[in-house]
Structures are given as structure tokens and as C-alpha cells.
């Protein structure tokens, strides 16, 4: 019999396994609750007690041998060392024959706990705890475009209890339409990968992203875009809170160091050279909120 209690996404999950002497699974059960540890332990103890007291699991009791009956002594028995005749001294205790022992009582049944092999149970538990999830949310970015950019975020995540791997896509549009008296329409499309470590409701990630920045000036003769490819690496921190058994909300904050940046140039006159009217800062930030659904 093996039992374990684990905490996952605000719930306490109890698992119980019973295997025979050959390692074959004979019985399994489990319970889950949200915060009521005392009740969960009582339910686990009751289930184990029922299994141990199940008549089908008990070995057949050993029958106690019937006590041997001493033969009746005849009225006129001949003299013997065990029964001396009248007038003869009795044998000392050291030389007396041993007394007849009564029949032995049946030994008490010994309860042995059969523990599942660690490798099998660990592998089965790991397979059960892995899951896929999909998420959708909204992101606000600073430093990615001229002004503040907002837009949707979609993600697919492979999740284990302690860590996860996520692939994300973002589509952002700048709220600023005027850069140095030049009217522009700015949008960005980025793809990122995140490797995250989870501890209770908190998580921290390493992030790498690659994207394209699109800036369309209202007057192309006045301004033009220089290198619209963007890339960066950074860190992300967040919190996740369960809303139901399969749905949870999350909030994130991240900082990304740009490795490839873009600039917006303003054209000069015939005798003047171009000059940059906007360049992406070396460090950008993003804040997000959304929902995650477990598959």
C-alpha cells in the first residue's frame, strides 16, 4: 500500500495504490479537496483501513491444533517413574519428565505493507501530471513601438508540476500616431518562446523573442523605416490563480533587452542628410493579463 498527498494549483490531491507481492496493481483510489487537509487525511485513512480489513485480502487463518487428550488412567495402573507406587519416593524435579504442553494457539496475523516499486509509481504519476494548456490575453508594451502598444496574445504551453515550456504570438498596435510632426501608423508582430519555473502560484521565465515592426508614414517622402526586424532576450515574472478545476488566470511583467532594433528616419532636403526621429530603446517592457485553459 502506497499513499501520497500533493498540492497542485491550490488543491490537495491524495493518491493511493495497492499492489500484490508480484507488483501487480490490485486497487487504486484518490481524492482531492481545496484547503481542507484534515478531511482529506481522514478519507485516506478510512480508505486504507477498509482495504486492510477487507476479508478478500486476508490470508486464511491457521486453525489451532486440537489439544491432545490425556488417556484415562486405569484404576489399577502399574507402578512407573511417572506414577510411583505407594511407599516409593517421588523423583526430584530435575529428573521428573517434562510436563505435557497444551496445544499452541494460532499465531496472530501479521499485516505487511506492500509498497509499489518507486520507478513504476513515479513514471505513472509524472505521466498523469503532464498536461497541455492554451491561453489568450492582452498585452501592453513599452519601447517596442513609438508610444504605448497594445494587442492580443495567444499561447500554447506544455506544463509539468514544476516547470513549463510556452510558445506565444503577439499582435500589437501603437496608440501614438505622431512622431516628430510626422503622422505614422505602427504595428508589430512578435513570436516568443519561454521556459518557466513554477513555485506555488508564482513563476519566473527566460524569454526569447523575434518580431517584425511595420511603420507606415502618411507621407513616404518625408520619412522611411530603417531595418524592421527586431529580436531580444529577457526575463519574465508572473502570478497564476485558479478560477476552476480547468481554468486559471494569470498576470505577467517582463523586461527584454533588444539585440536587433529598428529606427524611423526623416528625409532631409537636397543638401541635408537623413536623421533618426525615433529609435527603439535598448530595454523594453511588457505587461500582460489573460486566461489559461487546461486541455
At 230-244, the pLDDT tens digits run 899 999 999 999 999
pLDDT at 178: 80
Answer whether 288's CB lies under 8 Å from 138's CB: yes
Phi, psi at 37, each rounded to 5°: -70, -40
Q: What was the pLDDT predicted at 34? A: 74
pLDDT of residue 136: 98
Residue 11, beta-bridge partner list: 8
Going from the first residue of the chain to its last (295 residues), give the mean pLDDT of each consecutive group of 10, the final group possibly shorter.
Answer: 79 81 79 78 84 60 56 55 58 53 48 47 60 96 90 96 95 86 85 96 96 79 65 96 94 93 68 70 94 94
CA 44 to chain CA mean position, Å: 20
* Reported pTM: 0.55
Tell me where in the chain the CATH 2.40.160.20 domain(s) lie.
130-294
Tell me what pLDDT residue 289 has: 97
Q: Locate the DSSP E strands across the chain.
A: 2-8, 11-19, 25-33, 131-142, 148-159, 163-174, 178-179, 182-199, 202-217, 223-226, 229-242, 247-260, 263-266, 275-279, 283-294
175 and 149 in contact (C-beta within 8 Å)? yes
| pLDDT at res. 84 | 60
130-294: CATH topology is: Porin (2.40.160)
Q: What pLDDT is stored for residue 240 in this prediction?
A: 95
Q: What are the E-state strand segments in 129-222?
A: 131-142, 148-159, 163-174, 178-179, 182-199, 202-217
Residue 113 has a pLDDT of: 46
DSSP state of 56: G
C-alpha 247/C-alpha 6 separation (Å) is: 19
Amino acid at each position: 500500500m502506497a499513499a501520497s498527498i500533493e498540492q497542485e494549483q491550490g488543491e490537495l490531491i491524495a493518491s493511493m495504490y495497492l499492489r500484490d507481492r508480484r507488483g501487480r496493481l490490485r486497487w487504486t483510489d484518490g481524492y482531492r479537496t481545496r484547503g481542507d487537509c484534515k478531511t482529506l487525511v481522514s478519507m485516506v485513512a478510512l480508505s486504507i483501513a477498509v482495504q486492510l480489513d477487507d476479508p478478500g485480502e486476508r490470508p486464511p487463518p491457521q486453525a489451532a491444533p486440537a489439544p491432545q487428550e490425556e488417556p484415562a488412567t486405569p484404576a489399577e495402573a502399574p507402578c512407573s517413574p511417572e506414577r510411583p507406587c505407594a511407599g516409593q519416593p517421588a523423583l526430584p524435579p530435575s529428573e521428573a519428565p517434562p510436563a505435557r504442553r497444551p496445544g499452541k494457539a494460532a499465531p496472530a496475523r501479521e499485516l505487511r505493507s506492500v509498497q509499489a516499486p518507486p520507478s513504476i509509481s513515479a513514471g505513472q504519476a509524472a505521466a498523469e501530471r503532464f498536461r497541455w494548456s492554451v491561453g489568450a490575453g492582452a498585452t501592453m508594451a513599452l519601447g517596442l513601438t513609438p508610444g504605448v502598444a497594445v494587442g492580443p496574445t495567444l499561447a500554447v504551453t506544455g506544463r509539468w508540476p514544476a516547470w513549463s515550456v510556452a510558445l506565444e504570438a503577439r499582435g500589437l498596435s501603437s496608440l501614438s500616431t505622431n512622431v516628430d510632426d510626422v503622422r505614422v501608423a505602427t504595428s508589430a508582430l512578435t513570436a516568443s518562446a519561454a521556459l518557466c519555473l513554477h513555485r506555488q502560484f508564482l513563476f519566473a521565465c527566460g524569454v526569447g523573442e523575434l518580431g517584425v515592426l511595420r511603420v507606415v508614414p502618411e507621407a513616404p517622402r518625408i520619412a522611411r523605416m530603417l531595418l524592421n526586424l527586431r529580436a531580444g532576450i529577457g526575463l519574465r515574472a508572473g502570478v497564476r490563480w485558479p478560477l476552476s478545476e480547468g481554468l486559471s488566470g494569470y498576470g505577467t511583467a517582463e523586461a527584454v533587452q533588444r539585440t536587433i532594433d529598428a529606427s524611423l528616419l526623416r528625409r532631409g532636403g537636397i543638401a541635408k542628410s537623413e536623421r533618426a526621429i525615433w529609435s527603439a530603446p535598448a530595454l523594453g517592457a511588457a505587461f500582460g493579463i489573460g486566461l489559461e485553459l487546461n486541455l
